[in-house]
Structure 1
């Protein structure tokens, strides 16, 4: 096993490096340097302080790097369990001036609607192959729809995925995805669907990717949003497409606030949906009167979750729940599982070694979809 004295960075330190030795070291070691369970973050440049900025629950948000004496090379050794994946940035202080940005020594980036960040892949992490384009997988079709919504008082955009083997003579289950545009752009949702359906891991399914207006309002236990999904969206899709149009053939999926929207929509119509997929749900609650720390946007969420925990309701037959162990939300998600189970719902709970980000939810899609709508290949092996 690699010990701290055997780490590449410590061999460099012991050699008393000059600028040329640092150049050679960086040429030979892609950053971060992964050596078994230890990941060495690097930064080169004159600075008064350098920090890795990340959001691993239980660690300070800013982790300081140390400077190697006589050089402008800074380093931090962080131990990460196998198959972990974390997003981070580098913050540099020069006098009173701070700069924060992506790691210039690391080409791997993670993207979201908020921008990009650098990514560290610990030993053993592999990008799931279903998230990568497969030329052998027949592609499904994306169809754009606009649904006038009285509930939302706006026209609602929906992108509908039709599987490659789509036929109007067949009835299909339906998956409704909150933050649908982000799942398509940042979570490779179409590629994942094409691959999983082609490989018979997931049944042929029609997917409605929905787009929010003000998501922090519409997704935070909004009665108007629930009316749109259940009374308007389902009806419009079932009028246009050959769907099963029954409880067992309907599933709501969402991440973060989208998971809250999925749960609260099903709560208002407990006989409508057969399954929910709740990824990194923002299920913030308070056991005693206190400031929940989420800000005003979370007030209706906390009120709903507190009430649900006091009086749980069966809102579907099957729940898939997932969360990254590095997320602050891991504790409330773990706490919700026995609450869900107490209603008689079948719950599958998956923890990932990841954070609150789109790659986490991308990597979890196979577990969610193959459990909710298993294909013939999945059924054979189970």
Structure 2
């Protein structure tokens, strides 16, 4: 028999004094996780209160209800074990709407768009390898700028060199779209330091590349692809001791960066041996052109539709991940079979999370350790 929820036990107490509510909120905080249910709380005067989120399958906004004759609001929803949900609260007072992070929740996630509160279900924890480890030798981030003829501008990058970097060795190469965001919001330097220290991946060189206009450059943009494949890769090969075989090169990205990774590989087959794409915006239409994504997705849909009609094998292996709570789960699931039918080896991972940087961080161990197996694969001179 399922135990009654804490919020329902609170409703049984009469009268609900401010002192009782103070004690309840101090004891439980928000959200309250009970088995596979989550109860969100808000305390304050308002005419309406909602939980705002981006979880496919749940009402958005999720309305909260005020406990009678109190200033406490609550909303309860299902939340399967292992889930992680980012959300905010929204209030209406007259014609004034305000949206903000949950003041009763200290667990916050950050992104280029700002911050959000985090609801972590039973069983979710930040992976230990994503947290600083004092025993892991730190690698070095070196800023580099190069002149790109393809992009007609100076292009900055950040080069990660592993601890004990030696020019007598040969290193696999990882090129990362949205490089600055991966470093800032997905703790990727810490992740690389830890995974190398734990021997889960070999020492490697990672190059973090930020876009100037990602909505233009990332959806199948010829100058961007030419910069990556014909300028950046050769230049890195001249400056650094890298594995020369394509099997030692991986191109990665999330969302639009995932599209950029796939389209670059398709334009320049054989340059990279593998791709690591996370929540890739591989939107397509089976009929017509009404994809519902807005004009920025037009070149994406055109590219993906063309690729689905005639799939090619530009790389040997693709690691894909996607959150089951995001709208992109359907096209990502569909593209798995398309890639496999083209002869590409695909490892596909889903998580009970959404379209966000913490989800992409949490999948890095699976992705990097599959793309770059342990150090024994690589021969050092």
TM over 0.5: yes
Residue matched to 1:316: 315
What SS class does the counterpart of residue 266 from structure 1 fall into? helix
Provide the C-alpha distance between the structure 1 equivalents of 2:375 and 2:297, rounded to a whole number of angstroms.
Answer: 41
**Which of the residues 10, 13, 32 maps onto 1:12?**
10
Q: Could you say what secondary structure the match of 2:82 adopts?
A: coil
Q: CA distance change for structure 1 residues 245 and 7 in 2, over 3 Å: closer, same or farther?
A: same
Check conservation: 2:203, 2:375, Cα contact below 8 A. Answer: no
Q: Give the secondary structure class of the aligned counterpart of 2:51.
A: strand
Alpha carbons of structure 1 residues 18 and 377: separation in structure 2 relative to 1, 3 Å: farther
Any residues of structure 2 matched to 1:96-111 within 5 Å, and which?
Answer: 96-111=95-110
Counterparts in 2 of 1:378 and 1:53: CA distance versus 1, 3 Å:
farther
| 8 A Cα contact 1:140 1:164, kept in partner | yes
Determine helix, strand or coil for the equivalent of 1:83.
coil
Where do residues 153-164 of structure 1 align in structure 2 (5 Å cutoff)?
A: 153-164=152-163
Gaps of 5+ in 1: none
Q: Which residue number corresponds to residue 347 of structure 1?
A: 346
Taking structure 1 as the reference length, the TM-score comes to 0.97
- In structure 1, C-alpha distance between the alignment counterparts of 2:289 and 2:137, rounded to whole Å: 53
Q: How does 1:184-199 map to 2 (within 5 A)?
A: 184-199=183-198
The whole-number CA distance in structure 2 between the counterparts of 1:48 and 1:19 is 19
Measure the CA separation in 1 of the matches of 2:5 and 2:359.
Answer: 29
How do residues 143-162 of structure 1 correspond to structure 2 at under 5 angstroms?
143-162=142-161
Matched, 1:44 2:43: yes
In the alignment, structure 2 segments of 5+ residues that lack a partner are none
Pairwise mapping of residues 235-246 of structure 1 onto structure 2 (< 5 A)?
235-246=234-245
Per-residue Cα deviation, 1:290-323 (whole angstroms, up to 9, x for no partner): 4211111110000000011111010100100110
Structure 1 residues 329-368: aligned runs within 5 Å: 329-368=328-367
Assess if the C-alpha contact under 8 Å between 1:175 and 1:208 holds in 2.
Answer: yes
Question: Aligned equivalents of 1:103 and 1:237: distance in 2?
Answer: 45
| Structure 1 residue 102 displacement after superposition | 0.6
- 1:180 has 2:215 as partner: no
Find the aligned partners of 2:212 and 2:135 in 1 and give their Cα distance.
37
1:58 maps to 57
User: Displaced runs of 4+ in structure 1, greater than 3 A?
Assistant: 376-379
The answer for the alignment partner of 1:285 in structure 2 is: 284
Shift of 1:58: 2.1
3-state SS in 2 of match to 1:277? strand
In 1, the alpha carbon distance for the partners of 2:117 and 2:27 equals: 20
Conservation of the 8 A alpha-carbon contact between 1:2 and 1:35: no
Query: What SS class does the counterpart of residue 337 from structure 1 fall into?
Result: helix
Q: Deviations over 1:263-292 (max 9, x none)?
A: 000001111110000100001101110421
RMSD, aligned CA: 1.2
Pair 1:130 & 2:129 matched: yes
The number of aligned residues is 377
Equivalents in 1 of 2:96, 2:143: separation in Å? 47
Deviation at 1:165, TM superposition (A): 2.6
